[in-house]
């Protein structure tokens, strides 16, 4: 925990500004920059695991069409799970309450549905004629998947990735409750000592980090789409996929 900022004002809003302007809060292990790094590191680890699980499953289901019902209902179920509950449960069942991995696994459960449904819906929405044509010119199934289906599905897949990132970055704030670091620390610590300047300042930093990350991803998403597909912003088959994506995207932002 960082030392208390001395406030000139009694108004919590002004205190938040004072807290953010206090140089002491911007340095050291418990300062804002270090907490941002921690926050992003937890998020990155979570996403790495979630991508490794969800994307292959999504590719398989999208390409073969097998197991669609399982994936869709699994994603729906996971989406309804309260992440805070899963996190506290995992933390309790783990040997040591302060360890990193239990909350990370809870976050993985949160990130899997949008990644999995985004990948699956993207692949499934690729025009079947295009896929047939690829087979017709003699591509193997792997070539069909990686040279035709994935590039065509990339917009939807990245949309799913973006919403997974958004949810994870938002929810990592909660791991502070379990004694880990990250930007949630400022809110949890501030609340426990009734330092509302710290609570508000921390909340503003979390919101800013979430917005910047989302903005960067939005730019990357625009860059990553193949130029050949740029004009086809609204392909005929894309509509169902897009709605599916919105459904996946808005799973819950704790």
Partner 1 sequence: MTWLFGNLPQVLSLAGSHLVQAVIPLVLAVVISVPLAQIARHNKTLAATFLSVGSVLYTVPSLALFVILPVVLGTRILDFTNVIVALTIYAVALLVRSTLDALNSVDDGIRQAAVAMGFRPLHRFLAVDLPLSLPVLFAGLRVISVSNISLVTVGALLGIPSLGFFFTDGLQRNFPTEIIVGIVGTLILAVLMDGVLVLLQRLLTPWLRTPRAPAAEVVRA
Cβ 30 vs Cβ 90: under 8 Å:
no
How far apart are the C-alpha atoms of 4 and 251, rounded to whole Å?
36
Q: How many residues bind partner 1 (CB under 8 A)?
A: 57
Among 35, 63, 79, 185, binds partner 1 (CB under 8 A): 79
**Site stretch for partner 1 (CB under 8 A), options 2-10, 91-99, 137-145, 147-155:** 91-99
Longest Cα separation, the chain: 74
DSSP string, 147-215: IIIHHHHHHHHHHHHHHHHHHHHHHGGGGGGGT--STHHHHHHHHHTT-HHHHHHHHHHHHHHHHHHHH
Count H helices and E strands in the chain, helices first.
11, 0
Q: How far is the CB of 139 from partner 1 (least distance, A)?
A: 26
**Site stretch for partner 1 (CB under 8 A), options 27-35, 42-50, 54-62, 240-248:** 240-248
* Closest C-alpha to 75, from 239, 241, 247, 242: 247
Q: Is the Cβ of residue 11 or residue 140 nearer to partner 1 in the bound state? A: 11
Contacts of 30 (CB under 8 A, 6+ apart): 1, 2, 185
| Interaction of residue 173 with partner 1, rule CB under 8 A | yes
Q: Is the Cβ of residue 31 or residue 76 nearer to partner 1 in the bound state? A: 76
Among 94, 203, 225, 237, binds partner 1 (CB under 8 A): 203
Q: Is the Cβ of residue 16 or residue 145 nearer to partner 1 in the bound state? A: 16
Binding site for partner 1 (CB under 8 A): 12-13, 16, 69, 72-73, 76, 79-89, 91-93, 121, 124, 166, 169-171, 173-174, 177-178, 184, 187-188, 191, 196, 199-200, 202-204, 206-207, 210-211, 214, 240-241, 243-244, 246-247, 250-254
């Amino acid at each position: 925990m960082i030392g208390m900022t001395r406030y000139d004002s009694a108004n919590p809003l002004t205190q938040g500004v004072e807290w953010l302007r206090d140089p002491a809060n911007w340095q050291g292990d418990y300062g804002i920059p270090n907490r941002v790094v921690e926050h992003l590191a937890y998020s990155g680890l979570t996403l790495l695991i979630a991508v490794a699980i969800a994307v292959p499953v999504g590719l398989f289901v999208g390409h073969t069409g097998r197991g669609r019902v399982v994936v869709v209902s699994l994603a729906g179920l996971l989406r309804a799970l309260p992440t805070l509950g899963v996190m506290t449960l995992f933390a309790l069942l783990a040997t040591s309450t302060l360890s990193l991995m239990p909350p990370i696994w809870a976050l993985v459960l949160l990130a899997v549905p949008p990644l999995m449904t985004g990948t699956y819906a993207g692949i499934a929405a690729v025009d079947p004629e295009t896929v047939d044509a690829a087979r017709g010119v003699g591509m193997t199934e792997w070539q069909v998947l990686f040279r035709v289906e994935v590039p065509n599905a990339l917009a939807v897949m990245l949309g799913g990735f973006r919403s997974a990132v958004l949810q994870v970055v938002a929810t990592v704030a909660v791991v502070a409750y379990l004694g880990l670091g990250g930007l949630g620390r400022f809110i949890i610590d501030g609340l426990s000592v009734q330092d509302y300047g710290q609570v508000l300042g921390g909340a503003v930093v979390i919101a800013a980090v979430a917005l910047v990350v989302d903005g960067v991803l939005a730019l990357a998403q625009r860059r990553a789409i193949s130029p050949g597909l740029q004009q086809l912003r609204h392909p005929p088959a894309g509509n169902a996929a897009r709605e599916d994506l919105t459904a996946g995207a808005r799973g819950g932002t704790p």
